[in-house]
Amino acid sequence: TSTPLNTSRALVLLTKTLRISPNLALKTMSDLYLNTIISYPRTDSDVYKSNFNHLEYLKKFTSHPSYGNYASELLRENRTHPTKGKKDAGDHPPITPLESLDLTSSKFENDIQRKVYNLLARHYLALFGKEATEAKITLKVTIKEEPFNAQSVSLISEGFLEIVPFLKRTYDSEIEIIGTEIPIDSIVYEKKETQPPRRYTDTTLLKLMERNHLGTKATRPLIIQVLQDRKLIYRSNRQYFISDLGEFLMENLKGIWLPFLEPKFTR
């Protein structure tokens, strides 16, 4: 299941799906809020209050050209209670679409706003959908007394994933060979060197900052942008790299003030 969006989770969703920077994602949500298209985008809450009127918003979407059928089915099945996250911060509700807008609407100022709204609206509707059903199959093979395992995950029922296809994982074909002997065509021995860890992307960097309590939901995109503006890091193909200037600064700080580089220094 999916859960309501606070700022941090919305930024992760938008940067991963649309491949835009955190700064642009937050700015776009702020612009949509100023145009009264979505609710306030800076919130720690991922739980709606019990008196939140979801029925009002679901009814708006029943006439939407893209989401209408899905929203109507939710109402027919009386699915008007969303999933819950973990925290009601008491500040603002989770990020919610306030209007049912056709993606061709003139209220959108640019294409990025359309794409961000589309994801947020679909995600909101998914909160009321049925659970998706997956089947996980484990294949156990013994070759000359050596055990080998493989797993396959397939989608049995779409459920809420119907309205949020961008949340689908990559599924495998079903394995139907239980009790069957499998001939071995060839055995290939590969020798590989250990690969370095992957570079941080917008999504993984935001998650890392949240995990280490660096910045707030609203300042994390700004911190990343400031580091780029000051030429300490740079972004290429959605990955972040430290610049020569950044390396120089890090090496000098290690020798002068090592505790300053630890995440706990800012807590």
Residue 240 forms part of a structural domain:
yes
Residue 38 to residues 30, 76, 85, 87, 94, Cα–Cα distance (Å): 9, 25, 19, 20, 10
Q: What is the pLDDT of residue 182?
A: 64
Q: Which two tokens stand for residue 76?
A: 């027919």
145 plus 87 within the same structural domain:
no
Show the tokens assigned to 248. Answer: 């120089």
Using a 10 angstrom Cβ sphere, with 0-12 exposed, 13-18 middle and 19 or more buried, the burial of residue 45 is: buried
Comparing CA positions, the residue from 19, 25, 50, 23 lying closest to residue 38 is 25
Q: What is the tally of structural domains in the chain? A: 3
Q: Do the domain assignments include residue 192? A: no
User: Do the domain assignments include residue 168?
Assistant: no
Assess whether 119 and 14 both reside in one domain.
Answer: yes
Is 35 in the same domain as 101? yes
pLDDT at 266: 77
Q: What's phi and psi for 203, nearest 5 deg?
A: -65, -50
Whose CA is closest to 32, among 100, 124, 109, 126?
A: 109
pLDDT at residue number 179:
61
As a whole number of angstroms, the distance between CA 41 and CA 217 comes to 10
Return the H-helix or E-strand segment holding 76.
helix 68-76
Which two three-digit tokens encode residue 53?
């009127």
Sign (positive or negative) of CA dihedral 164, 166, 167, 173:
positive
Residue 141 placed within a domain: yes
**Residue 234, domain member (yes or no):** yes
Question: Residue 91: its pLDDT value, please?
Answer: 80
pTM (2 d.p.): 0.77
Residues 113 and 37 in one domain: yes
> Taking the mean position of all CA atoms in its chain, how far away is CA 148?
33
CATH value at residue 253: 1.10.460.10
Same domain, yes or no: 155 and 216:
no
Query: Residue 37: how many CA atoms within 13 Å on its side-chain side?
Result: 23
**217, part of any domain:** yes
Is there a single domain that holds both residue 98 and residue 143? no
Domain, as residue range, for 153: 133-159
Of 126, 150, 172, which residue is a domain's last?
126
CA distance 130 to 251: 52
Say whether both 20 and 121 belong to one domain. Answer: yes
CATH number of the domain that residue 37 is part of: 1.10.290.10
Look up residue 183 and give its two tokens. 């001939």
In a domain, residue 175? The reply is no
In sequence order, what are the beta bridge partners of 242?
A: 233
Q: 117 and 72: one domain?
A: yes
Q: Is the residue at 193 inside a domain? A: no
Question: 105, 126, 147 — which closes off a domain?
Answer: 126
Q: What is the pLDDT of residue 204?
A: 92
Q: Are residues 118 and 217 in the same domain?
A: no
Neighbours of 72 (CB within 10 A): 16
Check whether residue 32 and residue 113 sit in a common domain.
yes
Examine the domain organization and report whether 141 and 248 are in the same domain.
Answer: no
Length of the chain: 267
Do 121 and 139 lie in a common domain? no
List the pLDDT tens digit at each of the 267 positions of the chain.
789 999 999 999 999 999 999 999 999 999 999 999 999 999 999 999 999 999 999 999 999 999 999 999 999 999 999 999 998 888 899 999 999 999 999 999 999 999 999 999 999 999 999 998 877 777 777 777 778 777 777 778 888 999 999 988 877 666 565 566 666 677 677 777 777 788 999 989 999 998 998 988 889 999 999 999 999 999 988 899 999 999 999 888 888 888 888 888 877
